[in-house]
């Protein structure tokens, strides 16, 4: 495939890094986002999210003229959809943003164009978009190529994994899959596998459901161990000495727009079959409430001993270490719940520069260490790994980097 013109719909945590990686190959990329501030920020060579090395790459490709941001699409060879797919109602997948992105693209489509969907989607979404576009532009029926290729990157390592991870590419037809494979080969070094669209859509949901089930096992263990005064991390360390056992690390819950969300797509679409997947979701979704009960117990004990309310510092709000992403974050939910119940609560989130988040005041780590009586460690950010807490402090560490004391 010659260097194509590319339009990317959505310049968030996936769309912007993907666009920058493509543009770094000298390919013309037009990024499209509905938020004017996002568009203006990118065109200044800056970024609106936190991701290692992304700022330098975006600055480079914008200065080279390979990446430009707009609020509207334009004619191109490849159109990629990388917009959110949130819930509606009771964990029902909402593909409205995907449909709207396709609607905005449709007037600019031409015969031979390749339409790619990277947004996490229920099985069948690619064909829904094909039908939507062909109904609006019947003259393009059988003249476009449609494929689904799920992103599978880890926040904090997105640029590296966009380039190196294997990709599963599912086309509605075999020709569609091959066209998409030729495109991804321009910027992906990892192995490219082709299949049909339903399998590719299912693969993304299965990958994250598998991880969710395994995390649920670790989280369940942590709650059991707390009740019998067993160090869960020591237990996991010894259990993992078995050659066929590899238990994951528990935490305060599961967040992000993948593992905390994707299993519900399967539960909603296959309610009578996805029983284990559903139970894992319930286990991980209830872990924050368990953490809150532990925090409540510590606060009550402090009040009885000191005859006053403690100053509480929640360390970490993002859904995983060393990023600013708050989507579906159990840490944010826990901190917010504590703040609603107790008056003296601050948060430390080194990846954010806001004065507060959901009315929780943000403080520096140094300020919190001077003021707080109880530290609730929720995210294993690097600055939290070597803290010397005050001698009087009560430390509840739910990252399991060390035992609570």
Q: What tokens were used for 247? A: 């238990």
How crowded is residue 64: how many other Cβ atoms within 10 Å of its Cβ? 11
Q: What is the DSSP letter of 399?
A: T
The answer to whether residues 329 and 259 touch, using CB atoms and an 8 Å cutoff, is no
User: In terms of Cα–Cα distance, which of 91, 93, 116 is closest to 22?
Assistant: 116
Phi and psi for 208 in degrees, rounded to 5?
-80, -30
Q: What DSSP letter does each residue of 125-191 carry, written as one string?
A: HHHHHHHHHHHH-GGGTTSSEEEE------TTSHHHHHHHS-EEEEESSHHHHHHHHHHHTTT--S-
Name the active-site residue from 179, 181, 204, 320. 204
Q: What DSSP letter does each residue of 39-79 carry, written as one string?
A: HHHHHTT--SS--TTHHHHHHHHHHTTSEEEESS----SEE
Q: Is 45 exposed, middle or buried (0-12, 13-18, 19+ CB in 10 A)?
A: middle
**Residue 204 is a catalytic residue:** yes
Q: What tokens were used for 234? A: 């020591």
Angular region, 142: left φ>0, alpha ψ -120 to 50, beta rest? left
Q: What DSSP letter does each residue of 277-312 carry, written as one string?
A: HHHHHHHHHHHHHHHHHHHHHHHHHHHHHHSSPPPE
Q: Which residues neighbour 78 within 8 Å (Cβ) at sequence distance 6 or greater?
A: 4, 5, 6, 7, 113, 114, 116, 183
Phi and psi for 73 in degrees, rounded to 5?
-75, 180
Measured between alpha carbons, how far is 396 from 181 in angstroms, rounded to an integer?
Answer: 48
Q: Is the dihedral of CA 152, 154, 155, 160 positive or negative?
A: negative
**Residue 157 is a catalytic residue:** no
Q: What is the DSSP letter of 217?
A: H
Q: Helix or strand or coil: residue 367?
A: helix
Name the active-site residue from 66, 149, 258, 314. 258
Q: Helix or strand or coil: residue 78?
A: strand
Catalytic residues: 204, 258
């Amino acid at each position: 495939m010659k260097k194509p013109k590319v339009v990317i719909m959505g310049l968030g945590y996936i769309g912007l890094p993907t666009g920058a990686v493509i543009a770094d190959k000298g390919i013309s990329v037009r990024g499209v986002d509905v938020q004017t501030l996002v568009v203006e920020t990118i065109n200044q060579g800056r970024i609106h999210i936190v991701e290692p090395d992304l700022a330098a790459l975006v600055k480079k490709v914008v200065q080279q003229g390979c990446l430009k941001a707009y609020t509207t699409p334009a004619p191109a060879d490849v159109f990629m959809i990388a917009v959110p797919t949130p819930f509606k109602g009771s964990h029902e997948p909402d593909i409205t943003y995907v449909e709207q992105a396709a609607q905005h693209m449709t007037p600019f489509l031409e015969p031979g164009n390749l339409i790619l969907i990277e947004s996490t989607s229920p099985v069948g979404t690619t064909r829904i978009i094909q039908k939507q576009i062909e109904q609006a532009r019947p003259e393009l029926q059988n003249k476009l190529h449609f494929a689904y290729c799920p992103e599978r990157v880890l926040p904090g390592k997105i640029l590296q994994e966009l380039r190196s991870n294997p990709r599963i590419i599912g086309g509605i037809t075999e020709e569609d899959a091959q066209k998409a494979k030729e495109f991804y080969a321009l910027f992906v070094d990892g192995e490219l596998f082709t299949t049909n669209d339903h399998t590719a859509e299912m693969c993304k949901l299965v990958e994250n459901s598998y991880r969710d089930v395994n995390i649920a096992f670790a989280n369940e263990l942590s709650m059991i161990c707390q009740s019998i005064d067993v160090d869960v991390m020591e237990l996991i360390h010894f259990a993992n000495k078995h050659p066929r056992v590899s238990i994951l690390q528990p935490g305060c819950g599961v967040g992000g727009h993948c593992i905390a969300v994707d299993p519900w797509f399967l539960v909603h679409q296959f309610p009578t079959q996805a029983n284990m997947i559903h139970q894992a979701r319930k286990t991980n979704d209830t872990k924050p409430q368990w953490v809150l009960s532990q925090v409540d117990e510590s606060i009550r004990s402090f009040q009885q001993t000191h005859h006053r309310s403690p100053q509480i510092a929640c360390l970490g709000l993002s859904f995983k270490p060393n990023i600013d992403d708050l989507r579906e974050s159990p840490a944010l939910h826990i901190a917010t719940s504590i703040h609603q119940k107790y008056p003296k609560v601050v948060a430390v989130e080194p990846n954010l520069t806001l004065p507060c988040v959901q009315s929780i005041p943000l403080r520096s780590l140094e300020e919190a260490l001077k003021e707080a009586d109880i530290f609730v460690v929720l995210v294993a950010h690097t600055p939290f790994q070597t803290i010397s807490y005050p001698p009087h402090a009560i430390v509840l560490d739910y990252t399991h980097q060390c035992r609570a004391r």
